[in-house]
Amino acid sequence: MTTTPDSVGLGMPQLPAPDYPDDVRARLERDAREIIARYPGSRSALLPLLHLVQSEEGHVTRTGMQFCADVLGLTTAEVTAVATFYTMYRRRPSGDYQVGVCTNTLCAVMGGDAIFEALQDHLGVGNGGTTDDGKVTLEHIECNAACDFAPVVMVNWEFFDNQTVESAKRLVDDLRTGVPVAPTRGAPLCTFKETARILAGFPDEREGAVEASGSAGPASLTGLRLAKGEAARVVHPRDGGPHDAAQDRAPGDATPHDPSLAEHLSSHDAPQDTSASDPANPAGPTAEEGE
Ligand code: FES
């Protein structure tokens, strides 16, 4: 009897994965050919193909893995190894909206831990659990490189920045009742299956989606401009909006003169001394070392 991915290591062979209905398989094969054609070697298409099968069923099933193996000429063990390595591939049915609360260090101390605990109580599910209505799957996630907007909640990988316990509860309530919600930045929200199809490499054809995607938030741009030594607007979303750092400084002085602004700036917000600006501490070999 053929063993299948889920039976590997369990010592108990299982029935082969059921195939897709003919029309579904024909459609997926057409999409798969388009994806595979983008790569010099077909096996390089495995990651987007896993997104493709995830877009069909909402998670990566044994049928989906068998399909990937068939069209790429891989073994199911090879496909399973990849599908189980990356957390972006879900292995069991879950909600239309994957709500990920960042509980990595910065988000955790800024309120991410409290948000995650509150949402567990509010939704009545634990980590990885799905609400009875099939709308929301809650999970804690690692850093999503959006620490300047901590604490961050992701819904189907779209950003909801600077969350609080109350705003996060409102967010999941809206998702469950169908009230439209908009991410803080980036493309408009869509369901998990629709997101998976976009991640498989098919264009997001919703109006305005392309223009909205890929935009950096104001806090990130402020950091970039400060790193370049430019004046920048310092953003304090919890404090009524941005301040113009340049207006609070004497020419050539990186130190803010407005005490209220000084409270908001961290050591990361201002240009740091470098070997060029700090002659007392030059970089490179000293005269003695150079001899
Ligand atoms: S720690 Fe949460 S986005 Fe980086």
pLDDT tens figures, 94-135: 899 999 999 999 999 999 999 999 999 999 999 999 999 999
Same domain, yes or no, for 198 and 66?
yes
Same domain, yes or no, for 84 and 199?
yes
181 near 159, Cβ under 8 Å?
no
Number of domains in the chain: 3
Domain presence at residue 279: no
Domain presence at residue 286: no
Closest CA to 108 of 116, 100, 96: 116
Domain presence at residue 287: no
CA of 210 to the centre of ligand 1 (A): 25
Q: Compute φ and ψ for 234, nearest 5 degrees.
A: -95, 125
Instruction: Report the nearest atom of ligand 1 relative to the CA of 103.
Output: 2
Domain presence at residue 249: yes
**Arithmetic mean of pLDDT, 175-195:** 92
Identity of the residue numbered 184: T
Same domain, yes or no, for 140 and 154?
yes
CA of 31 to the centre of ligand 1 (A): 34
**pTM for the predicted model, two decimal places:** 0.71
pLDDT in tens, 46-86: 999 999 999 999 999 999 999 999 999 999 999 999 999 99
Same domain, yes or no, for 126 and 257?
no
Same domain, yes or no, for 147 and 175?
yes
Q: State residue 235's pLDDT score.
A: 55
Domain presence at residue 226: yes
Closest CA to 106 of 168, 152, 139: 152
Q: Is the dihedral of CA 19, 21, 22, 24 positive or negative?
A: negative
Same domain, yes or no, for 20 and 66?
yes
Instruction: Report the nearest atom of ligand 1 relative to the CA of 143.
Output: 4
Instruction: Report the nearest atom of ligand 1 relative to the CA of 104.
Output: 1
Domain presence at residue 66: yes
CA 183 → CA 58, 158, 160, 177, 213, distances in Å?
21, 6, 5, 17, 11
**Ligand 1, from 116, 140, 143: best to mutate by most atoms within 8 Å of Cβ?**
143
CA of 201 to the centre of ligand 1 (A): 26
Q: Would the CB of 102 count as within 6 Å of ligand 1?
A: yes
What is the gyration radius of the CA atoms in the chain, in angstroms? 24
Residues in CB range of 268: below 8 A, 6 or more apart: 223
CA of 102 to the centre of ligand 1 (A): 6
Same domain, yes or no, for 108 and 178?
yes
Strands (DSSP E) contained in 116-157 are 136-141, 153-155
Q: State residue 4's pLDDT score.
A: 42
**Ligand 1, from 101, 104, 113: best to mutate by most atoms within 8 Å of Cβ?**
104
165 near 118, Cβ under 8 Å?
yes
Q: Would the CB of 106 count as within 6 Å of ligand 1?
A: yes
Same domain, yes or no, for 62 and 110?
no
Closest CA to 239 of 253, 219, 268, 221: 219
Question: Residue 201 sits in a domain of what CATH number?
Answer: 1.10.10.1590
Same domain, yes or no, for 119 and 140?
yes
Same domain, yes or no, for 199 and 229?
no
Same domain, yes or no, for 86 and 66?
yes
Full domain range(s) for residue 226? 218-269
Same domain, yes or no, for 161 and 196?
no
